[in-house]
Amino acid sequence: MNFYQNLSPIKDFSNVSQISSFSEAPKDWYVLITDIKDSTKAVNQGRYKDVNLIGAACITCALNCSDISEIPFIFGGDGATLLIPPDKVSLVLEELQALKIVALKNFQLELRVGYIQIEKLYIHNS
C-alpha cells in the first residue's frame, strides 16, 4: 500500500526520462482519468476558471478520500490522471460522481470519468 510513499525521488532532472527512474505501479491499483467534455470550447468562451476549477476538484476529491501521500496525480487543466489504491477506488468514484452532478448543474460542464485496473493494462499490452 505504500507504493507512492516508497518511490525514490529523482534528484537530477536530466535523469527524468531514464528507464531506471521509473517504477512499476502495483497491479491491483487503478488508473483513473477525468476530463471535461468540450473544455476547449468552454475555454475559448472565457470559462477557463470554471474548467480549471472542476479539473482541480477531481484531484481534491481523491485526496479527500485518502492520506495525501497515497495518491500520485497529474493535473491536466481540464481533468487529471491519478493512481488510486484498490481500497480507495470505490470511495473516490463515489465522490467523483457527486462532482459530475455539481459540474453539470452549477457550471454546465460535463465531467467524464474513466478507470481501469493496472493489471488489465499489463494483460492488454502483453
Compute the distance between CA of residue 92 and CA of residue 75 in angstroms, rounded to an integer.
16
- Under 8 Å CB-to-CB from 70, ≥6 apart: which residues? 1, 4, 5, 85, 88
DSSP 17-43: TSGGG--PPPTTSEEEEEEETTHHHHH
Give per-residue pLDDT as tens, 31-84.
999 999 999 999 999 999 999 999 999 999 999 998 777 889 999 999 999 999
Q: What is the pLDDT of residue 32?
A: 97
| pTM of the predicted model as reported, rounded to 2 decimal places | 0.87
